[in-house]
Amino acid sequence: MGLDDALIFTRVVECHSFTQAATSLGMQKSTVSRRIALLEERLGVRLLNRTTRKLRLTEVGQAYYERCRQIMLDFAEAEQAVMQLQREPSGLLRITSPIEFGQLFLGRVLGEFMRQYPQIDAEVELTSRLVDPLEEGVDIAIQVGQPQDSTLIARKLFESGRRLCASPAYLAAHGTPRSVAELEGHRAILLQQDAPRYWPLLGEHLPCQRVMTCNNITFAREATLAGAGIAGLPVMISEEAVRSGRLVELLPEARLPVGEVYAIYPSRRFQAMKVKTFLDFLIISLPITRGGLLEPGAAGLLTSPA
């Protein structure tokens, strides 16, 4: 009530009329008059001297008006500032991302985004843990898999396919499997999410000779490059090595799990312009093929996001 009464009082003073103030506020003149009377009663002072022809501020009324006018100006400025934020991306953008995705793509994309929108500041954490944007005050959390919390919004960015890879040195020493069944006798480098004693194949339950399990796909790739075994590596982390011949793709007919990567954020309603604009920018900037992400600069079409 206090702020509303201050607004009514300020409008009466500036219109020099109860009638004009009521019209501008969309109120009845009697309502405006009653609200001013209640305001004076609550404050215990007379703010306006009224005659049939004019209104005149009392001394205390003049002081009160000046304070109220400043409050109204501050309020209008605050509204303009918020609306400006919605017109052009600006302010602090907080993002979390899987380590490899951040190193391979996010740094480049975010740098280009900030060059186009210089009013953006950014805080980025590359991490393997799952982040709750609400609890940690994060604008966008990029992660593999949808969140368990149904109150969060999950926007699908892409699907990251996997393929079996080995180094030429490993294949020279242990032979090249010509069928899925022949994998059973080969050394396996598994990711932490894989079943511990089986090859990560869809529709198959094929035992493996596990020699290593790790929770980082870059680590798995480096171990594979060194000849430790065969690994089911994401396309985005193995493509350059396959193209250069440092890794060999095996059994392309084998079906491996697909990882779905999402951008997670708290709410779509009244979404900050910085968040909406960056998500759109991120999606059109990712080099995608049907097999998954490629290295920066590769050509591709984005067809997966919902």
Q: Which residues of the chain have pLDDT under 70?
A: 1-3, 52, 79-87, 267-271, 288-306
| Three-class secondary structure of residue 207 per DSSP | strand
The closest alpha carbon to 161, from 254, 299, 296, 285, belongs to 254
- Report pLDDT for 73: 78
Residues contacting residue 52 through CB under 8 Å, at least 6 positions apart: none
d(CA 265, CA 257): 25
Question: Which numeric CATH code is attached to 1-85?
Answer: 1.10.10.10
- Report pLDDT for 241: 95
d(CA 187, CA 228): 8
CATH T-level topology, domain 162-250: D-Maltodextrin-Binding Protein; domain 2 (3.40.190)
**Pairing of the two strands 248-250 and 55-57:** unpaired
d(CA 200, CA 254): 10
In the chain, domain spans: 1-85, 92-145+268-285, 162-250
Greatest C-alpha distance within the chain: 106
- Report pLDDT for 84: 57
CATH T-level topology, domain 92-145+268-285: D-Maltodextrin-Binding Protein; domain 2 (3.40.190)
d(CA 165, CA 170): 10
pLDDT digits (tens, 9 = 90+) for 265-289: 986 555 688 898 999 999 888 875 5
The closest alpha carbon to 174, from 254, 128, 228, belongs to 228
Q: Contact, 250 vs 272, CB < 8 A?
A: no
The share of the chain scoring above pLDDT 70, in percent, equals 87
pLDDT digits (tens, 9 = 90+) for 62-103: 888 888 888 887 777 776 666 655 567 888 999 999 998 898
- Residue whose structure tokens are 């995608």: 288
Residues contacting residue 278 through CB under 8 Å, at least 6 positions apart: 89, 93, 110, 113, 120, 140
Per-position DSSP letters for 31-78, written without gaps between them: HHHHHHHHHHHHHTS--EEE-SS-EEE-HHHHHHHHHHHHHHHHHHHH
**Pairing of the two strands 91-97 and 140-144:** parallel
Torsion of CA 154, 159, 163, 169, to 10 degrees: -80
The closest alpha carbon to 36, from 59, 57, 53, 52, belongs to 57
